[in-house]
Chain A
Amino acid sequence: MSFLNAVRNIPAIIPCVKVGLQAMGTNSRHVHPSDSRKCEGSVDIDTCLENSDPNACRWDYVLGYNGQAYFVEVHPASGHITEIIAKCEWLRSWLKTEGAPLAAIHGDSVFHWLSTGGVKGINQRKLALSKVVVNKLKLP
């Protein structure tokens, strides 16, 4: 299943799908695909589900690349990691229900926090236990 086919099976985010990395806006500068032709699209999950799930700690973005989905959060280093972990818990829950078609093409099994400014090693260990890796997104 391609990224766009997966998105078509999730009605709530269909209107939000954008070409390439455009859904990330200026945050796309933090993502460096090896081959931009393999970018299939992107969705700003956070904004898209703001009305339908207003009180949730929503994850930022999903990117389609070479037939797979990558989940990306862009957040400053000053953000508390409990917030990132809460967002990841919400995302994992969403992927088991409404977002299941994207879970089926989850590219690298982890969730990416692109921290604007870096993080300390100890935080990375805590995050790893929630399957969150920091600043290691590779789009081959």
Chain B
Amino acid sequence: METLKVKNLGPIAEADIRFGDLTFFVGPQASGKSIVLQLVKLLVDKGSIIKTLKKHGYVWNDSNGLLELFYGEGMSNIWNAETEITVDGKAVESKSLLDAEPNRTVDTEVFYIPAQRVVTVLNGWPKPFSDFGRDPFVLKSFSETLRIFMEVGYGDFLFQSSSQPTSPDNLYRSVFHSGDLEIDVSDYRKRFVLNILGNKIPISGWSAGQREFMPLWMGVHSLFISRNGVRPTEKIVIVEEPEMGLHPQAIVQVITELLKVIGEGYKVIVSTHSPMFLEFAWAMQFLKKNRAPTSAVRKLLKIENADERLNSTLDVMMNEKSINTFHFNRVDDKTIVKDISTLDAFSDDPGMADLGGLTSFASWASEIVAENVEL
């Protein structure tokens, strides 16, 4: 999917999106970012979605039923008679969602890490798809992916002491510090624990940021692992609010991890409320335009020890990959999605100059202080 046009879908009045290798969505709560992100998943993966739902015993009679099961309870009416969806220049009707052939083998192309990801591991182990109720499909599907990832043993190495990073200059260490993630058995069941100086702490005792981070970390790593010698089938990775619960120091390292994902050949789409991702995008635009050396990107991301693979990824980011940014601007209950990819600090559009509104309060606070300083 290169382009997506949307009219009258939920709160979205109009959106005209051209995806980059890395695409950012920014905007206030309930402006429709998640609806569009899930739409990408639905349009690309409808075959595997239908197959998964049927496998778990779900039935429906029409596209409204499918939308209800996919988006979650009460969401089926977001796609109505006024809705227009165009993918790469071709119109898509809601009834065409039912055209998929669930019996055919279909690969999943979109890997979706949802904002509500913390609920997938709150019991100490990823919940199975069927343990969820009428939650969004992307949440249930992500949890099931993690569960299978652990069940078949692909994820075991993440929890072995020999695999734990030792360098403090590392995302894992930024979040877990001296603790090591382990798989423990309690009451005859496996569970994740954080081993700090021999004390095995269950998830309920972790910080909020650690709990939020765990499924994100597992999800991202699952993309790097071949399954039975076959690399993952996904081509697009969607991450909602990767900054959730993280200190800015860790967010910088999350950006580096996402670049590694792009380096593996995936396209990445991120929704965020953190100005750090857009400041990164703005800096990258400037560095690319001015043909700065790759060392400038390493410096930007505070990468001190880059291996050959990461250096190569950063080179590719500088020379070949595109970064696009879209502002979901909600006014009077309707959202117009604007391309703010240039992030021009001089733009008359405050949405562009203030990074999609993320820095508007910082600017405003500075203005008020400046007006009231007595010198």
Could you say which residues of chain A place their CB within 8 Å of the CB of B363?
A: 121, 124, 134-136
Say if the beta carbon of B1 comes within 8 Å of chain A: no
CB distance from A64 to the nearest CB of B (A): 21
B257-286 to A contact mask, C-beta < 8 Å, 1/0: 000000000000000000100010010001
CB contacts (< 8 Å) of B331 on chain A: these are none
Quote the shortest CB–CB distance from B347 to chain A (angstroms). Answer: 9
Q: Provide the residues of chain B in CB contact with A125, threshold 8 Å.
A: 362, 365-366, 369
A47, chain B: closest CB distance, angstroms: 23
Known: A114-B346, A115-B345. A132 touches B353 (CB 8 A): no
**A32 CB to nearest chain B CB (Å):** 6
Residue A33 lies at the interface, judged by CB distance under 8 Å to chain B: no
**Taking the nearest CB of chain A, how far is it from the CB of B293, in angstroms?**
15
In the bound complex, how far is the Cα of B279 from the Cα of A109, in angstroms? 29
Q: Mark A93-136, 1 if CB is under 8 A from B, else 0.
A: 00000000000000011100011011111001101111111111
B348 at the interface (CB under 8 A from A): yes
Indicate which residue in A30, A115, A134 contacts B366 across the interface (CB closer than 8 Å).
A134
Please judge, given known A-B contacts A92-B375, A118-B282, whether A131 and B345 are in contact too, CB under 8 Å: no
Contact B345–A124 (Cβ < 8 Å): no
Interface 0/1 of A1-42, CB less than 8 Å to B: 000000000000000000000000000001010000000000
Q: How far is the CA of A127 from the CA of B375 in the complex (A)?
A: 13
In the complex, the answer to whether B353 meets A135 with C-beta atoms within 8 Å is yes
Asked whether, in the complex, the Cβ of A133 is within 8 Å of the Cβ of B373, the reply is: no
Q: How far is the CA of A132 from the CA of B371 in the complex (A)?
A: 9
Residues of B with C-beta under 8 A to A133: 366-367, 370
A109 and B345 in contact (CB under 8 A), knowing A120-B279, A124-B362, A124-B366?
Answer: no
Could you tell me if A128 and B346 are in contact, using CB atoms closer than 8 angstroms?
no
Q: Does B83 contact A (CB under 8 A)?
A: no
CB of A68, distance to nearest CB on chain B (Å)? 15
Closest to B346 in A: A30
Please name all residues of chain A whose beta carbon is closer than 8 Å to the beta carbon of B282 when the two chains form the complex: 118
CB <8 Å contact, B279 and A131: no
| CA A49 to CA B90, docked complex, whole Å | 63
A77 to B373 CA separation, bound complex (whole angstroms): 23
Q: How far is the CB of B64 from chain A (nearest CB, A)?
A: 45
Inter-chain contact B286/A117, CB cutoff 8 Å:
yes
In the bound complex, residues from chain A placing their C-beta under 8 Å from that of B369 are 125, 128-129
Question: What is the chain B residue whose CB lies nearest that of A89?
Answer: B375
Q: How does the 8 Å CB contact mask read for B331-371 relative to A, with 1 for contact and 0 for none?
A: 00000000000010110100001000001001101110111
The residue in chain B whose Cβ has the minimal distance to the Cβ of A78 is B286
| Known interface pairs A114-B346, A117-B286; A131-B373 also in contact (CB < 8 Å) | yes
Given contacts A120-B279, A121-B275, are A136 and B367 in contact (CB under 8 A)? yes
Q: Which of A76-91 contact B (CB under 8 A)?
A: 77
> Does the CB pair A110–B370 fall under 8 Å?
yes
14 chain-A/chain-B pairs, Cβ below 8 angstroms? A92-B375, A110-B371, A119-B345, A121-B362, A125-B369, A127-B370, A128-B370, A129-B369, A133-B366, A133-B367, A135-B346, A135-B363, A136-B363, A136-B367
Extra contacts besides A117-B286, A128-B373, A133-B366 (8): CB < 8 Å: A121-B362, A125-B362, A127-B366, A127-B370, A128-B367, A129-B370, A131-B370, A131-B371
* A-B complex: 8 closest residue pairs judged by Cβ atoms: A118-B345, A121-B362, A128-B369, A124-B366, A128-B366, A128-B370, A110-B370, A133-B370
